[in-house]
A and B are shown apart, each in its own frame.
Chain A
């Protein structure tokens, strides 16, 4: 039986009609809404490739049923910024060339955004701990840590978010 689910994505009200209310949010973002920036990594809530903000909190969405976000506000990597108006984190990741394959980066940048929202001046150890739920297999960790530090400094200095 088709059901309709309404929620907000990147500030935009959306409504999707689905036969299966257990459809994961990730599948809805990618297949129904065409937002490909949130990646599928495991489907097991283990790797962090699918990290999004739900009402401001970082959550893995590969196994989260869409009914659980009805009426809530979802922010994906596409909602942070774009090439014309990059979020300071996105700019810092480019400046530091913080990535290799880049498949993990959407989730990592979203996790870092959640960290900086609650702790604008984290230590390197705090950044690392906040990213322990995100796996990077290529070994770009130190560049990523530097990029988050750089973004935090830029945001403190008043670069707009």
Chain B
């Protein structure tokens, strides 16, 4: 079982490494969206550093959501997904590996890129580190929750926009606590509570989302 999970993880990463553009596109989307805000709001450093946590989190949300359809779409089209469903290994565990790979390829690059963007937006060092930490704890939840939506919209008309409608409302708690942590630290309340809740959301999502995604895939491939 562990073997199958590890195999799935390597397979996903190997597939993505052969087509690096997809991974890089998500990252550049993140960078572009963040760069649009100073152009739209104005270059005042005060304003920018004020809205920076929210901007980074919203951009991360959108980037993560847009990369979701590559989670199952290709395996669905070439029939691999059906083999996974028929196989002896528990589908939820395979799905968990796929989600983990998805996070390593889309979530983690965002976390690593966020300090640079935070600097651009004029955040101080403490806020930048905290920001990266919230993204590190929070983005796995985005991949996990999103995989349920990706499974449900598989092969559905207008899947992309529908996916946004399904998944973004469920992302909101992550957004609130993720960007709220930096604000809480600034006002001196301390970010511990926010980080704990964010961690709790991720853990809960890790527990439930693979099963829900597996159920969604079974419904979609019925």
Q: Are A and B interaction partners?
A: no
Which B residues contact A (CB, under 8 angstroms)?
none
